Chain A
Amino acid sequence: GAGVSQSPSNKVTEKGKDVELRCDPISGHTALYWYRQSLGQGLEFLIYFQGNSAPDKSGLPSDRFSAERTGGSVSTLTIQRTQQEDSAVYLCASSLGVPGVGTNEKLFFGSGTQLSVL
């Protein structure tokens, strides 16, 4: 597609329910990132996928969070047993190649999913 696509754009759920957020990166981009942004806060890194390598899950805040990337393309972020503190905008980004020293691997962001946990 023309850009990074995320769905749904808005999700309201009840505390304790599971949610799935979807990200469709730019075609041909090998790297995919998930961040979340709480009101007035910076972007918090969650997880990074690069090609067929094992993902970097170092940013996931708890074991209720998981993500997968099927076929090196679409990614799904799953939050189990949602809590009110999970409310945030979840942003997905992709980049053409592998980030590295001296390389301008700029990130292209989707419009995000606004998650509200009641």
Chain B
Amino acid sequence: GQNIDQPTEMTATEGAIVQINCTYQTSGFNGLFWYQQHAGEAPTFLSYNVLDGLEEKGRFSSFLSRSKGYSYLLLKELQMKDSASYLCAGPPPGSYIPTFGRGTSLIVHP
């Protein structure tokens, strides 16, 4: 399947900026998703990138570099409610069904 790698855990301070990185297998690239999952809840869609560059959506932005097999999710003006797991996902070569990384658990503290 798609080889998706992201850090297991990150901590940050309320009001700060945090960048969550994701690397993936570049061959047969079919787009990259980011989802947010609060503890005990379902994942919810945050962003989708298929072209290189930065896509901004309010406090959340997502960046993609296809040549490097690299993406990041940028969260600005962190709030306590941003404490959640952030899942990077992309289809493996030859498929369009998203494979998910293990997720990055973000802890925001006061």
Contact = CB atoms under 8 A, between A and B. Distances in A.
Interface string B79-95: 00000000101010000
A41 interface: yes
Given A101-B31, A101-B50, A102-B50, A109 B97 contact: no
B48 A109 contact: no
Contact of B87 (A40, A42, A98, A101): A42
Interface in B1-26: 1, 4
Interface string A77-118: 000000000000001000000111111111111111000000
A56 interface: yes
Interface stretch (B36-44, B56-64, B70-78): B36-44
Q: Is the interface of B mostly helix, strand, loop or mixed?
A: loop
A34 B24 CA distance: 22
B96 A98 contact: yes
Contacts, number: 58
Contacts of A33: 97
Given A42-B87, A42-B102, A101-B50, A106 B97 contact: no
B96 A99 contact: yes
Interface residues of A, number: 26
B65 interface: no
B43 A48 contact: no
Given A35-B100, A42-B103, A99-B97, A106 B45 contact: yes
Given A110-B42, A112-B42, 12 more contacts: A4-B42, A40-B102, A42-B87, A43-B100, A45-B99, A99-B30, A102-B50, A105-B96, A106-B33, A107-B43, A108-B45, A109-B43
Pick the 4 closest A-B CB pairs, nearest first: A99-B96, A109-B42, A43-B100, A42-B102
16 contacts: A42-B4, A42-B87, A42-B100, A43-B43, A45-B97, A45-B99, A91-B43, A99-B91, A101-B31, A102-B50, A104-B31, A105-B96, A106-B33, A106-B45, A109-B42, A109-B44
